Structure 1
Amino acid sequence: MPAPNLDTVMSAVDQLLSGAMDEEQMPAAAETLRQLFNGSKACFASVGPNPEDWVAYATNVDEALQARCFGDLAQDFVEMGFALRNIPLGQVYHDHEVYGRERLHSSRIWQEWMQPQDMHGGMACRLAENGEAFWFFDVQRGRHQEGFDREDVALLGKLYPVLRRIAEVRRHLGRVAIQRDEARGALDSLAMGIVIVDQDLRIIYANEGADEILAEPDGALSLRQGRVFARQPSDHRQFRQLVEAAAHGSRDPLGQQRSSLILRGDDRAHSLSACVMPAALSLAPAGSHSKVMIALRRLEMATDIVACSRQLFDLTETEAKFASALASGLSLTEAAAAQRVRISTARTHLARIFQKTDTRQQSQLVSLLRSADLPLRSR
C-alpha cells in the first residue's frame, strides 16, 4: 500500500483525539483509521471475562452480527482474547500468526462473524489493560485485497502511543459516566429536590424531585429562561443572597456556612424548606462561577415532627408541638395563636428550642426538623 502523507496521518490523529473526548465520535475515528489502512473493517474494542468489560466502536456495522458478538458468540470472543494475553502492549500482530490459519478458519468466530463481513486478513495491537480485560485496535483487509505489509505494521506501531492514550481516556470517561449515573440514581431516589446552580441561578442539574417542584404552577420556585426564581419577591431577594454567598465560598448574610430559608408559594400547600450550600469546596477566587447545591423539601411532606423532635432533641411535648407548628410554615405569631399562648411565652419556647437544637434562627430550625427524616421515593 502506498504510504499515506503526513496530512492524512495528522487528520486521523485529530479524529482520534475528538473520539477520545466524545464517545459519539469514536465510530468516525475508527472509519478514519480504516481508510488510512485501506481496510475492509476497523474496530476499537475492549474485551474481558465480564459483560461490563465489553465495548466496541466499529466501522461497517452489521447490527445483526454485532448483536451476536455480544450474545451467543461472546464466550468464543473471550476465549480468543485469552490467546492475546501474552502479546506485549503495542506489538503489532496478524490474526493467523496468533491463532494459526487452520485453527482460525475452523472457529465459529471466523465462520459466523468474520467471513460474512469480509474480514480475511487482520492486523492488530493491544492498547491498554484493565485487570483481565484489555483494549485493542484491529483493522481487516477483504478477500480480494492484498495483505498488510511492513509499512502498514510500521505505521500502526507509530500510531500506538496515540491509540493507547485514546483507550485510556475512553476507559476513564466510561468509569466517570458510570459513577455519574449511579450518583444521579441515588439523588433521584430521595424524596426531596436537589438542584445545582451557578451564582446567577442558572440551573446545571436537577434530580426528579426538583423537576417536579419546579414544574408546579403555584409552587414556591419556578424556572424562567433557565434560571431558578422564588415566587415571592421578598423570598427571592434572600434566596439570591444566600446563593451568591455560597457561590463565592463566603459566609452568608446571617453568619452561617450553610443557610436555610422558607420559600412560600401562592398558598401554604406549596411552601418549601430550602437549604443552600456550596456544591463542592473550591480554591477558586471570588467571582469564579462556583456551583451551589440547593436541597428542597415540601413542608407538607412532614412525618410526625412532634415525635421525631422529642426523640432526637429531647424537646418537651409543648416545645415539640410549637416546633411542629413552625415547621408547618406558621409564623411565630401564628404559632403562638395556634398553641393559645402569648407571644412572650412563644418567644420563651423558641429560645429553649434553639438551645436544644443548636440553631439560632427560625429557618434553620425548620430545615433541621424537615431533614430529620429523609424517606425514599416510591419508584
Structure 2
Amino acid sequence: MGYSISHERLSVVIGRIYEAAYDQSIWLDVVLQLQAMFHGSRACFSGIDWANVEDSFCVSPSRDPYWDRIFLDHFATNELFAPRVAAPLGRVFSDTQLIGRHRIERTSVWNEWMMPQDMYDGMFCNLRASEKNYWFFDVQRGRGQPAFDADDRTMLALITPHLQRAAGLGRHFEARPVLRSLLGHLPFAGFIVDPRLRILDMNDAAQRLLVQPITLLTANGGHLATSDSTQTQMLQRAVARVCRVDESEFPISAADLILRSERGDQLVLSIGLLPDGEMFGLSAGPCAVVLARESRLALSTSLADQLRKTFGLTGKEASVALALASGLSLKEIAIRENMAYGTARVHLDKIFRKTDTQRQSQLIALLNAFRLLP
C-alpha cells in the first residue's frame, strides 16, 4: 500500500457513514474523509436515477458544474461506464484491474474529462443496482501518485458493506418524511400499521386521539386496538385482508369499518393498502393506512320523527337519510346498520321516491332546507 490507514481512523469514518444514512447533509464530510483516507484527488458517492440522470444524487467535494455539464452532454454513456455498472455488487475494483490501462487511455472520456480533472487511477465499488437506480462509490488518484493496489482494495472492501447498508437506509429515510408530510396534512387521524396492527407511524391527530380519556381507538403494547375485543378482531381481519396475508381469501384493496360505543359515539375507519412499507423505512412487505374520523350521528328521535311525518319514511329509511346527510357513504351506512349494500340501495331508492329527489346531493339539500340537520 502506498499510504497507511489506521484502524482508529477507519472506525471513525464508518461511524460517520451511518450518521449520514440518517442525515444526508453529512455525506459530504464522509466523502471528504474517504478521499483523504485513500489520498485521492477526487471522490464521489452517487446514486444515479436512470429515469432522470440530471436529478441523480451525487456527493463530491470537488464537484464542478462545468464538468458536470460536459459529462451529461457528452459522456453520460461512455466506454468505461458499462464495465463498471456490470461489475458485481459489494466487490472492489480498480479501473486498471477491470478495464486495463491501455484501453482506458485510448478513450475520449479519459482524455477529455478525466485527465483534465486529475483523475488518473480509479478504485470503486458498486453498492446497489436495480432497473430504477445505480449506487456506487468511486475514488481517484492524480498524476504522480501511486496506483491503487491490493491493500487499498482490501481496505475499501472493509468499508463497502457499511456504504451499502447506509445507501439502503438513506433511501428509506429520504422517503419517510414524504409519508409523514402526507399524513400530517390530513385533518383526521392517520395510522400506518402492519398486518398484525403494530403501529409503524401516525400523525399528530392520531396521537391526540389515542390520549383522549374516552376513545374508541387505543394503543395496546404498540398495537392499534379498540375498546372492544370483538371490534379489534374485525379491524385486524380487515387489515390482514387489505395486506393480503392469507392467499386463500379474496384480496381487497380497501375496507371500511365503523366502531361504536355504548354511549353512541362512532368512529369511521377507512383502511387502504400501502404495498411496500420498506420503501418508507417501515416494515418490510405490505402495510395498511388506517384513517379514522369521528361520525356525529347521535341525532334526536324528534328529527327522525319529523322525517317520517313529513315524507312518510319508515324508521329505517329515516335513519339512512340522516346518515347520508351526516356525511357517510352508502357503503358505510350499510356497515353501520348491519345490512347488505343492496338493501341499503333499496332504502335509498325509496327515499328518493318519497322525497321527490333523484340524487344524494338533492336529498341532502332538501334536508338542509327543512333544517333537519343538527
TM-score w.r.t. length of structure 1: 0.53
In structure 2, relative to structure 1, the CA distance for the partners of 1:131 and 1:102 (3 Å cut) is same
AA partner of residue 153 (structure 2): L
Shift of 1:30: 1.4
C-alpha distance in structure 1 between counterparts of 2:307 and 2:221, whole Å:
35
In structure 2, relative to structure 1, the CA distance for the partners of 1:349 and 1:169 (3 Å cut) is same
Q: Deviations over 1:61-99 (max 9, x none)?
A: 223433554x3245335x532133565552431359725
Contact 2:3 2:38 in 1 (8 A): no
Q: Deviations over 1:16-50 (max 9, x none)?
A: 23334443332222111101011121112345865
TM-score w.r.t. length of structure 2: 0.54
C-alpha distance in structure 2 between counterparts of 1:136 and 1:292, whole Å:
34
Q: Secondary structure at the match of 1:83?
A: helix
Q: Deviations over 1:176-212 (max 9, x none)?
A: 856985x7899899x98552399xxxx9655xxxxxx
- Partner residue, 2:119: 119
Contact 2:105 2:111 in 1 (8 A): yes
Contact 2:125 2:160 in 1 (8 A): no
C-alpha distance in structure 1 between counterparts of 2:130 and 2:230, whole Å:
49
In structure 2, relative to structure 1, the CA distance for the partners of 1:348 and 1:111 (3 Å cut) is closer
Are residue 195 (structure 1) and residue 190 (structure 2) matched? yes
Contact 1:192 1:295 in 2 (8 A): no
C-alpha distance in structure 2 between counterparts of 1:103 and 1:248, whole Å:
58
Are residue 5 (structure 1) and residue 6 (structure 2) matched? yes
In structure 2, relative to structure 1, the CA distance for the partners of 1:125 and 1:273 (3 Å cut) is closer
C-alpha distance in structure 1 between counterparts of 2:155 and 2:61, whole Å:
22
Q: How does 1:341-352 map to 2 (within 5 A)?
A: 346=315, 350=319
AA partner of residue 65 (structure 1): W
- Partner residue, 1:359: 336
In structure 2, relative to structure 1, the CA distance for the partners of 1:103 and 1:11 (3 Å cut) is closer
Shift of 1:251: 4.1
Kindly tell me the number of residue pairs found equivalent between the two proteins: 281
Are residue 275 (structure 1) and residue 269 (structure 2) matched? yes
Q: How does 1:66-215 map to 2 (within 5 A)?
A: 66-69=68-71, 71-73=72-74, 75-77=76-78, 79-84=79-84, 87=87, 90-95=91-96, 98=99, 100-101=101-102, 104=105, 106-108=107-109, 110-112=111-113, 114-130=114-130, 134-143=134-143, 145-150=144-149, 153-171=150-168, 173-174=170-171, 193=188, 195-196=190-191, 205-206=202-203
AA partner of residue 25 (structure 1): I
Unaligned runs of 5+ in 1: 207-213, 215-222, 231-235, 263-271, 281-290, 300-325, 370-379
Q: Deviations over 1:123-146 (max 9, x none)?
A: 334445446965432211233x41
In structure 2, relative to structure 1, the CA distance for the partners of 1:195 and 1:110 (3 Å cut) is farther
- Partner residue, 2:351: none
C-alpha distance in structure 1 between counterparts of 2:174 and 2:166, whole Å:
12
- Partner residue, 1:59: 61
In structure 2, relative to structure 1, the CA distance for the partners of 1:359 and 1:129 (3 Å cut) is closer
In structure 2, relative to structure 1, the CA distance for the partners of 1:4 and 1:27 (3 Å cut) is same
Contact 1:278 1:292 in 2 (8 A): yes
Q: Deviations over 1:300-324 (max 9, x none)?
A: xxxxxxxxxxxxxxxxxxxxxxxxx
Alpha-carbon RMSD across the aligned residues, in angstroms, is 5.3
C-alpha distance in structure 1 between counterparts of 2:171 and 2:47, whole Å:
12
In structure 2, relative to structure 1, the CA distance for the partners of 1:131 and 1:255 (3 Å cut) is closer
Contact 2:123 2:148 in 1 (8 A): no
C-alpha distance in structure 1 between counterparts of 2:156 and 2:42, whole Å:
18
C-alpha distance in structure 2 between counterparts of 1:41 and 1:126, whole Å:
17
Are residue 228 (structure 1) and residue 208 (structure 2) matched? yes
